[in-house]
Structure 1
Amino acid sequence: MTRSFVAAALLAFASWSHAQASTCDSAVYEDRNGNARRDAGEPAIAGIRVSNGTEIATTGKDGRFTLDASPGRTLFVIKPAGYDVPRRADGLPLFWAHTPPISAHALRYGGLRDVGTTCPSFGLRRTPTRKGDLDVLVFSDTQTKSQVDVGYYARDIVEPLRRRDGKPAADLGLTLGDVTSDDLSLYPAITAVTTRLGAPWLHVAGNHDVDPDAQVDSEALSTFRQQFGPDTFAWEEPQADFVVLDDVISQPGRKPAYVGGLRDDQFAFLAQYLPTHDARRLLVIAVHIPLFPDGGETFRTADRERLFALLKDVPRVLVLSGHGHVQRQFFHDATTGWHGASLLHEYNAGAACGAYWSGAKNADGVPDSTMADGTPNGTARLVVARDGTYRLSWQPAGVTADTGELTRAMRVHAPRVLRRGAYPAWGVFANIWMATPTQRADFRVDGGDWMPMKRVEQADPWLLAENVRDDEAPALRGYDRSPEAQPSTHLWRGALPTTLGIGAHRVEVRTFDQWQGEQRGEATYRLEDAAP
């Protein structure tokens, strides 16, 4: 018997033994000092749910749980309301642990590495009951492709949101995928920036977060999971329960390379979790690829209908998605397979990177990055009340809490000058970034009577003008030019009067936002006489 044969046999036996030792019997305990280690005197906690992404177990009186912990799985605690979890050294919440894989396909960015534990315990720390609203920062598509972009993200998005008193910028943070733009080596740098905000931060996986050299869907998020934890999990607060779902089905070697959808193990998790959801809270479903059709079957119809069947009887549901680098409010009904008691709201959030960190740079050297529908790059805020009702708002990049401009809700565009007496064929446009399709908008000139504006689906004229400036520039105005303007779903128009006096005229626009109340914007135009 040769040495090589013996070595091979021993390796095969070790792998077999590892595969057979797939049941985890461990515990959840009260981590009173927050050091992520069970110390003497720290008691067990009963009634806590722990999952492997498919099954859910509940701890007994001794805090113990039993779960399948096959190699390569990620086990996690479903953080209950009234508790917090420890933080890792990089500031991310520590509520999960990977079981060591037997072997791993060699991946460029490292993939899921052996982390040295097969059966983790989880610590929770009791927190004072939050009596007010839950304040959540919602980012989507930070999508940095270089360290330069990470710098833009820090200066344009994160730094303006940091509080001067050093307190967390929100109670919770959530990034809706495409954390980076294919270069997964940037994850630590991005995390170091995001965690400056001080809030516990959760991450959804996006199509640009997959390992580019993965051979099958099951390994496509190996490096993402190594950095951010499970791709499917639940997290609970007193006002809302959050379910994060990887909805990117990778199709290596095929076209398209991915499609929106969910896996059977995710449906199994949902089927067990949803009956435990507190119906008094808002249920937030966080995904990357929108659930609604977007120019074809971008999300598998059968998966959407299967998901909607599970959600149908949940009284309060909000879907958060990203991916499109535009901003939309979508309300699902029977045409998309939704049969709940009321319409299902999906907020398709705009991108933190806007149009991929493109456009002419401002005085601080940061690209303008207005999105193709005219929405400025920025972030959203979700505020959830104790009764499960919620409010949404959009915060353009660079706007800080200290400026008092958090409710700036639109860009108003008007031509600079028109001929006095001309046929009123030119309009004032209001791009109202968070508007729903049925929202009301009015305008008035020089303090006169309010007149209704009409919703139109066309390109934002401000961005069209920017496209022309790029076209006519003798040299590049930035690394990448602004995107070609495309029809916006939140644009309103009113015809400007031309029978007023010569000179400047003030145009005011008001809209009635269902979450933030009345919002206003303004612009000016001038009338001049002209001879034929």
Structure 2
Amino acid sequence: MRPSVAACALSLALIAPLTALALPPPCNSGTVYEDRNGNGRRDDGEPGLGGIRVSDGVELTVSDAQGAYHLPVVDGRSSFVIKPAGYRVGRRDNGLPDFSVNVQREPGPKLKYGGVPASFPSCRDYALISEPADARRALDVLVFADPQPKTATDVGYYRRDIIEPLLAQRGGRGAIADLGLSLGDIVHDDLSLYPALNRATALLGVPWLHAPGNHDLDFDAARDEDSLASYRHVFGPDTYAWEEHAASFVMLDDVIYRPGQNPSYIGGLRDEQFAFLERYLAGARKDRLLVIGVHIPFFDAAPGRETFRRADRERLFALLREFPRVLLLSGHGHIQRHVYHDAQDGWHGAAPLHEYNVGAACGAFWSGIKDAQGIPAATMADGTPNGYARLGVGADGAYRLSWHPARLDAVAASTPAMSLHAPRVLRRGAYPAFGVYANVYMGQDESRVEFRVDEGAWAPMRRVAQADPNLQAENARDDQATALRGYDRSPEAEPSQHLWRAALPTDLAVGEHRIEVRTLDPWQGEQRASTVYRLQDAKE
């Protein structure tokens, strides 16, 4: 038995007959050790590891030469080891990484989904398994935002639409990725779905980190401090760090719950989280990429509407300023976009700060007509297909991003990079007022998107703030239907941040003409898609 746990268990046995007033101080101590045989318990000859950071999301300590650490005991916190590069941790029965323990001596408020059960002691030894990585190898990270199932049926969609295709891609080639991230709204209000969703994600065999979202709250909690109790019971800490050979990850709860107010939540960070950030970042390496994962984006969703508290954003950005490579990852919006923060947002670094607002795994809440496999289209309101992202990080901290649609057959002329929309037929000689549209899923303000017809010269397309015409057409089909086409119809199309347009020529020969569109993705290189239209003569 591990020494620290044994001591706590012995204390319990000795004091059981005594009154609560005679209880000794509870334990929030233990040892960080090298688990050489990977069995999850400390055996003879397995040494303690010094210099390993352990935290409770507020305080931060470092293990001594024998691996011992000590933290204060505060109910409602979750203690965790900050996994260092070159090590891995074991997996719990539910597939989640085993790196934390909840501290809850006294019963918390009674909550619909149970909260964190009271337990004593909270001693914990942390097992680290040596796993040296090739420092030259790129780190591969899967990034999910908003899986958000409402029902067991939706969990089935998540498994069949996202998880099983990833498993099929792996084949016999080893690990699917080095790490996985989920950026909140793990479920949609029904927290009893956590076990089923975790079982699906665990099939990937990848260490998986979670941040909570606004739909992961205990809505019957009377205050923000208790609103993630049931989440913490399943996933552990809501504010923590994790390190790999090419990047450091900080996952943060950025949902401030405000019961009885309108709106009932806002994006922001608590003072305790800033205390942890200050302590962790003071010793964090600057030669790696620093990734901050949250649910609610740091930018305001609409002008004049504070969706993330500005004072908190500026305070966070001040802490990040000295890091040369930082990437912000967020979810929540069920659209996809890139935002570059500058002085107007409180960022005063040497270069703009990149935030990738990741599209949703559930797309538009698993809505739309079903395909041949019985899975809803789930296209998002900006025309982006549902799916997931990949983050690749090199040894120098440089990163690459890519979006991976779950399915490509929902929209004609679609590729993993974009979807096209063009009229099928135009009158030859008509005024060239009708265009081809390219929805470039990873497009940014400065993206260069070009088109050509029949292998002619490439010409620029113009970025437009309009709704995706493919989704508009789907909206029209839903409107015109006399019966429901699916359980929930597709979302109403909203202006996309990554849509380009060009007018099609009508002075070509009668017949079919091929349209090609290309864009230079900064991370994936040149991406192309094609479609056709036809010119026809007409009489007055």
TM-score (norm 1): 0.95
CA contact (8 A) 1:178 1:206 kept: yes
Q: Residue type matched to 1:314 in 2?
A: F
Query: In the alignment, residue 147 of structure 1 is paired with which amino acid?
Result: A
Take 1:116 and 1:480, find their aligned partners in 2: how far apart are those partners?
46
Match among 166, 178, 191 for residue 185 of structure 2: 178
Which of 33, 36, 47 in structure 2 is aligned with 1:32? 36
Question: Partners in 1 of 2:22 and 2:73 — Cα distance?
Answer: 13
Unaligned runs of 5+ in 1: 1-9
Partner of 1:68, secondary structure, is: coil
> What's the offset of the Cα at 1:397?
0.5
Q: Could you tell me whether the CA contact under 8 Å between 1:354 and 1:370 is conserved in 2?
A: yes
Corresponding residue to 2:79 among 75, 81, 85: 75
Corresponding position: 1:139 with 2:148: no
User: In the alignment, does 2:386 pair up with 1:377?
Assistant: yes
Q: Which residue of 2 aligns with 1:454?
A: 462
Query: Does structure 2 retain, via aligned residues, the 8 Å contact 1:204–1:231?
Result: yes
Determine the C-alpha separation between the residues in 2 that align with 1:325 and 1:239: 29
Instruction: Give structure 2 stretches of 5+ with no counterpart.
Output: 1-15
Number of the residue aligned with 2:5: none
Quote the residue 1:249 is aligned against.
256
Question: Residue 426 of structure 2 corresponds to which residue in structure 1?
Answer: 418
Contact kept? 1:420, 1:499, Cα under 8 Å: yes
TM-score by length of structure 2 reads: 0.93
- Which residue among 393, 416, 423 is the counterpart of 2:402? 393
2:532 alignment partner, SS class: strand
Cα distance in 1, alignment partners of residues 104 and 266 from structure 2: 29
Q: Which deviations, in whole Å up to 9, do the C-alpha atoms of 1:111-159 show, x marking residues without a partner?
A: 1113443221111010032341000000000000000000000110110
Q: What's 1:52 paired with?
A: 56
- Residue 321 of structure 1 and its aligned partner are, at CA, apart by 0.1
2:160 corresponding residue in structure 1: 155
Asked if the contact 1:137–1:380 (Cα under 8 Å) also holds between the matched residues in 2, the reply is yes
What is the CA distance between 1:294 and its match in structure 2? 1.0
Q: 1:460 to 1:12 in 2, by over 3 A?
A: farther
Local SS of the residue matching 2:71: strand
Q: What displacement does 1:21 show?
A: 2.3
In the superposition, relative to structure 1, how do residues 13 and 268 fare at CA in structure 2: closer, same or farther (>3 Å)? farther
User: How far does the alpha carbon of each residue in 1:49-73 deviate from its partner, in whole angstroms, 9 at most, with x for none?
Assistant: 0001101100111111111122332
Equivalent pair of 2:26/2:121 in contact (CA under 8 Å): no
Residue 7 of structure 1: aligned partner:
none
- For residue 31 of structure 1, report the CA deviation from its aligned partner: 1.2
Q: Is the 8 A contact 1:284 1:319 kept in 2?
A: yes
Indicate the residue corresponding to 1:233 in structure 2.
240
| Residue pair 1:152, 1:366 contacting (<8 A) in 2 also | yes
**Structure-to-structure mapping, 1:438-453, within 5 angstroms:** 438-453=446-461
Which deviates more from structure 2 when the two are superposed, residues 185-194 or residues 87-96?
87-96
Mapped contact 1:320–1:346 kept (Cα < 8 A): yes
Give the aligned partner of residue 100 of structure 1: 104
Task: For 2:205 and 2:174, locate their aligned partners in 1 and report how far apart those are by CA, in whole Å.
Answer: 7
Aligned counterpart, 1:524: 532
- Contact 2:184-2:212 within 8 A present in 1 as well: yes
Partner residue, 1:202: 209
Deviation at 1:335, TM superposition (A): 1.1
The correspondence for 2:94, drawn from 76, 79, 90, is: 90
Q: For 2:173 and 2:133, how far apart are their aligned partners in 1?
A: 21
Matched residue type, 1:151: G
Q: Deviations over 1:3-53 (max 9, x none)?
A: xxxxxxx99962x666x8256332101112222221222110011000011
Residue 435 of structure 1 and its aligned partner are, at CA, apart by 1.0
1:297 equivalent to 2:306? Answer: yes
Tell me if structure 1 keeps the 8 A contact 2:408–2:416. no
Q: Is contact 1:22-1:70 (8 Å) kept?
A: no
CA contact (8 A) 1:82 1:238 kept: yes
- Give the aligned length: 517
- Give SS of 1:197's match: coil
Give the aligned partner of residue 336 of structure 2: 327
- Contact persistence 2:26–2:120 (CA under 8 A): no
| Contact preservation (8 Å) 1:22, 1:71 | no
- Greater shift, 160-169 or 368-377, is seen at 160-169
Contact map agreement 1:100 1:117 (CA 8 A) in 2: no
Instruction: Please tell me the root mean square deviation across aligned C-alpha atoms, in Å.
Output: 1.8
Partner of 1:278: 285
Q: How far does residue 165 in structure 1 lie from its aligned partner after superposition?
A: 1.5
- 1:510 corresponds to which residue? 518
Tell me how far 1:75 sits from its aligned partner: 0.5
CA distance in 1, matches of 2:292, 2:516: 37
Q: Displacement, 1:168?
A: 2.6
Distance 1:12 1:410 in 2: 69
CA separation of 1:201 and 1:509: change in aligned 2, threshold 3 A: same
Deviation at 1:406, TM superposition (A): 12
- In 2, Cα distance between equivalents of 1:220 and 1:330: 29
Given residue 371 of structure 2, which amino acid in structure 1 is its aligned partner? Answer: N
Partner in structure 2 of residue 312 of structure 1: 321
Q: Provide the C-alpha distance between the structure 1 equivalents of 2:408 and 2:53, rounded to a whole number of angstroms.
A: 40
CA offset digits 1:175-200 (Å, max 9, x no partner): 00000000000000000000111110
Query: Which residue identity does 1:150 align to in structure 2?
Result: V
Query: Displacement of 1:106 after TM fit?
Result: 0.8
Residue-by-residue CA offset, 1:349-383 (whole Å, 9 max, x unaligned): 00000000000111110000100000000000000
Q: Which moved more, 1:368-377 or 1:25-34?
A: 25-34
Amino acid at match of 1:24: N
The equivalent position to 2:490 in structure 1, one of 482, 501, 506, is 482
Deviation string, structure 1 residues 358-413 (Cα, Å, up to 9, x no partner):
0011111000010000000000000000000000000000479xxxx997200011
Partner AA of 2:155 in structure 1: V
Aligned counterparts of 2:51 and 2:89: Cα–Cα separation in 1: 16
In the alignment, the residues of structure 1 paired with residue 119 and residue 309 of structure 2 have an alpha-carbon distance, to the nearest angstrom, of 34
